A and B are shown apart, each in its own frame.
Chain A
């Protein structure tokens, strides 16, 4: 028996399905060949799961009937959390931290309004400035009727551009 033949027979040897003569031959080869000896030991580590004959002793209960199948079943939940769950949890954690930082910074200076926080205390801009007060001040200098109307244009006041009806016709 050569190395190739010996290694090919490992699964049948493990399952005790090899004829006695071939079994003896394989054992002798493995004993004399360090490479195949190593290969067998490597094989033996996975063989109990991959190459053993599995006994179906899992369910002692009777086989499922259609009534059993129609019943709501316990979902097959893996013991390990799915990868997507971790990603969602990571995003949620980042959002939580961001919200916490925002809340903390606002709690540090409760009286500071938005304008102060933007322009700073040393700025020339009056922090008490508000749009309403500026608008009211402007109203005092403008006649009420013309508040939002542009002044009426008289065509005679426009400079002569040299274009007349007759020049266009000519």
Chain B
């Protein structure tokens, strides 16, 4: 009954109400209006979580956790900032916490490849750039291996790579999101790129050695 009412209200309110109006309504006790906010930003939140984690269940959990934190902390939102900027900080922190919890050693991650991953690396070593891009879109192992490569980075490095390369945030935006200095962001970015390049070169070199044998 209550859910039906909430859905009805949600459907009615889909005519674009500004974020600020929705937030004010939620803070005034119209908590069902939060569903509209969540619907509006759900895709972007999930995409950001997917940058960090390949596992869909994990992405769903982290997305849910982010919205929960946003809902409970909505009173701390300042209207002069874009809502998604504030929400992105929450999502980033949720993912960062999870990354730190499951921190793993780099050598555990690029040690063994499956047969399909070896085939993919082989293709990357030999095919033309166009063929590589075409194949990457079709092959799940390309995504799996790329995520393993990201897993080999320290949580700080991984955060900065995702925010800089995938989300294309500026240094100052990353600094604000992570609560770091801009100098730290620059250093981390440099080291993260270096570290990821080194790992990728190791993988390619290993494959080349495997072929020679």
Contacts and interface: CB of A to CB of B under 8 A. Distances in A.
* A and B part of one assembly: yes
Interface of A: 11, 13-14, 16, 26-27, 30-31, 40-52, 54, 56, 58-59, 62-67, 69, 73-74, 76, 78-80, 82-83
B59 interface: yes
B181 interface: no
Tell me the dominant secondary structure on chain B's binding face.
helix
Interface stretch (B15-23, B128-136, B171-179): B128-136
Contact of B64 (A45, A51, A73): A73
Interface residues of B, number: 65
Tell me the dominant secondary structure on chain A's binding face.
helix
Interface in B116-135: 121, 124-125, 128-130, 132-133
A41 B104 CA distance: 25
Interface of B: 2-3, 6-7, 10, 26, 31-32, 34-35, 38-39, 42-44, 46-47, 49-51, 54, 56, 58-65, 67-68, 71, 98, 101-104, 121, 124-125, 128-130, 132-133, 136-137, 142-143, 145-147, 149-150, 161-162, 165-166, 196-197, 200-201, 203-204
A76 B132 CA distance: 35
Given A66-B32, A69-B34, A54 B47 contact: yes
A79 B62 contact: no
Contact of A56 (B47, B101, B136, B200): B47
Contacts, number: 140
7 contacts: A13-B129, A45-B203, A52-B137, A54-B50, A62-B7, A76-B58, A79-B102
A100 to B, nearest CB: 31
A40 B136 CA distance: 13
